[in-house]
Amino acid sequence: MASESEVSNKQIIFKDYVVGFPKESDMEIRTSKILLKVPEDSTGILLKNLYLSCDPYMRSRMSKHDRPTYVTSFQPGSPITGYGVAKVVDSRHPNFKAGDLVWGMTGWEEYTLTTLTDLFFKIEHTDVPLSYYTGLLGMAGMTAYVGFYELGSPKKGDRVYVSAASGAVGQLVGQLAKLTGCYVVGSAGSKDKVDLLKNKFGFDEAFNYKEEEDLDAALRRYFPEGIDIYFENVGGKMLEAVLSNMRNNGRIPVCGMISQYNLVEPEGVHNLFNITTKRIRMEGFIVGDYYHLYPKYLEMILPHIREGKISYVEDVAEGLESAPSALIGLYSGRNVGKQLVVIAQE
């Protein structure tokens, strides 16, 4: 017999492992039931999900991996999981109480019961838009901060190049570079995105990489004296063109390589010896290793947001049903700014 507090729970189910580009049909909607109470023998929390974040790394979770990697694969037949913002509905964990707002690793569903409380941060600052905790004040923001400052070692006057520059991470990297007194150029895949880079985020220059026949020549045009920091988001041919244009002692924080995520056979990069001859420091990182810096990041970024010195563009899809399409849109550049999905009001 259904209990009084049992409600229906719409979910986005991962159907099966993906090879090549993901499709909406790799996911399906299912409705199940959930009790709006944490079981008595649990120390978990029950969440009402408000915003879901669509992130490029989720493609890796759709693959079956034959050796351990930095993420676990989604379980076929189970809900997709990812970063999100949620409200605690019930709690048997001492650190959380009903009514708390949190961001962290939740389910693509209306309600999530979880014991993985270590994967959540409590939201203390609510004078800024709550949706920012899917991006600017969440994982993507931390990624920009860590990659740029910890690995990029920027100094005033550095020449900085950012690929996928209008996205969740890139738009912030460009603005951090400007705050540091750097010259910054971004690339993106449409005229509208290029306009945003120049007119909204304050990049010194920006170009549409899809309209450039020769990426090497394009970079030479914007960096006649070479690049000090390349914030790497895309990989492939862009990385090859960048390596030819780096300056001695340049830094390349390797944040991601989205152009490679859906390829069955990744592309090769043919001029890696530049790393030696130009003494380049090229270093990969995973943001999850740096969350101990989150309080420091908030202390730095919140005043900038409040003073209007940092802007953030979000691409908001409406309703859980729109989540699969929003997610796959990342891999063709359909999103303009941080892609998120709003699924409920507080």
Choose the stretch contacting ligand NAP; rule: CB under 6 A; options: 9-17, 44-52, 189-197, 222-230.
Answer: 189-197
Q: Which of 12, 14, 27, 56 binds ligand NAP (CB under 6 A)?
A: 56
Q: Which of 233, 239, 313, 343 binds ligand NAP (CB under 6 A)?
A: 233
CB of 164: closest distance to ligand NAP in angstroms?
Answer: 4
**Can you tell me the distance from the alpha carbon of 144 to that of 346, in angstroms, rounded to the nearest whole number?**
28
Residue 85 is a binding residue for ligand NAP (CB under 6 A):
no
Residues 276 to 315 in contact with ligand NAP, rule: CB under 6 A: 285-287
51 with 318: CB under 8 angstroms? no
CB of 209: closest distance to ligand NAP in angstroms?
Answer: 7
How many whole angstroms from its chain centre is CA 253? 15
**Can you tell me the distance from the alpha carbon of 83 to that of 313, in angstroms, rounded to the nearest whole number?**
18
**Can you tell me the distance from the alpha carbon of 144 to that of 235, in angstroms, rounded to the nearest whole number?**
17
Whose Cβ is closer to ligand NAP: residue 79's or residue 186's? 186
Main-chain phi, psi angles of 160, to 5 degrees: -115, 135
Q: Which of 13, 18, 27, 140 binds ligand NAP (CB under 6 A)?
A: 140
CB of 142: closest distance to ligand NAP in angstroms?
Answer: 8
CB of 15: closest distance to ligand NAP in angstroms?
Answer: 23
Number of residues in contact with ligand NAP, rule: CB under 6 A? 31
Whose Cβ is closer to ligand NAP: residue 156's or residue 292's? 292
Residue 11 is a binding residue for ligand NAP (CB under 6 A):
no
Whose Cβ is closer to ligand NAP: residue 11's or residue 143's? 143
**For the range 62-68, what are the long-range contacts, defined as Cβ-Cβ under 8 Å and sequence gap of 24 or more?**
62/14, 62/17, 62/18, 62/22, 62/26, 63/17, 63/18, 63/19, 64/17
Choose the stretch contacting ligand NAP; rule: CB under 6 A; options: 31-39, 167-175, 222-230, 244-252.
Answer: 167-175
Residue 196 is a binding residue for ligand NAP (CB under 6 A):
no
Alpha helices in 246-337 (DSSP H): 274-277, 294-306, 323-329
**Can you tell me the distance from the alpha carbon of 217 to that of 199, in angstroms, rounded to the nearest whole number?**
24
Residue 217 is a binding residue for ligand NAP (CB under 6 A):
no
How many whole angstroms from its chain centre is CA 87? 21
| Phi/psi-derived region of residue 342, left when phi > 0, alpha when psi is between -120 and 50, beta in every other case | beta
Residue 159 is a binding residue for ligand NAP (CB under 6 A):
no
**Among candidate residues 134, 164, 136, 141, the one with its CA nearest the CA of residue 53:** 134
**Can you tell me the distance from the alpha carbon of 187 to that of 197, in angstroms, rounded to the nearest whole number?**
8
Radius of gyration of the chain (CA): 21
Residue 55 is a binding residue for ligand NAP (CB under 6 A):
yes
Q: Which of 164, 176, 252, 280 binds ligand NAP (CB under 6 A)?
A: 164
Strand partners, 194: none
Residue 106 is a binding residue for ligand NAP (CB under 6 A):
no
Q: Which of 104, 107, 141, 170 binds ligand NAP (CB under 6 A)?
A: 170
Residues that bind ligand NAP (CB under 6 A): 55-57, 140, 143, 164, 166-170, 188-190, 193, 233-234, 255-259, 285-287, 330-331, 333, 335, 338-339
